[in-house]
Amino acid sequence: MTTPNRPPIPSGDAQAGFLGMTDPDTGNPVSVADRRAEFERLSRQAPRDPGAERAFIESKIEMIRKDSNLTEAEKERAIEELRRGL
């Protein structure tokens, strides 16, 4: 039986400003890069699909309605906040 790939784990000296990643299977360092700016640029270039965006928000509203950990007032506030984004 094979073991599925495991994600890298943080390593390094956070106080020194370096927080690398280590492969948990080999113990070797794993190269990482901050790709947030690239992702943001690509996301802005992608065409928007208002129908898909609405469906996504509606699915989140349904999740909120079913959440037994929230009070009715908390649910109403969260749903209103999501609806303002539509």
User: Would residue 69 count as lying in a domain?
Assistant: yes
Number of domains observed in the structure of the chain: 1
User: Would residue 73 count as lying in a domain?
Assistant: yes
Q: How far apart are the first and last CA of the chain?
A: 48
Parent domain of 57: 49-84
Position 64 pLDDT exceeds 90: yes
Mean pLDDT of the chain: 84
This prediction has a pTM of 0.52
User: Would residue 74 count as lying in a domain?
Assistant: yes
Segment (H or E) for 21: strand 20-22
User: Would residue 26 count as lying in a domain?
Assistant: no
User: Would residue 80 count as lying in a domain?
Assistant: yes
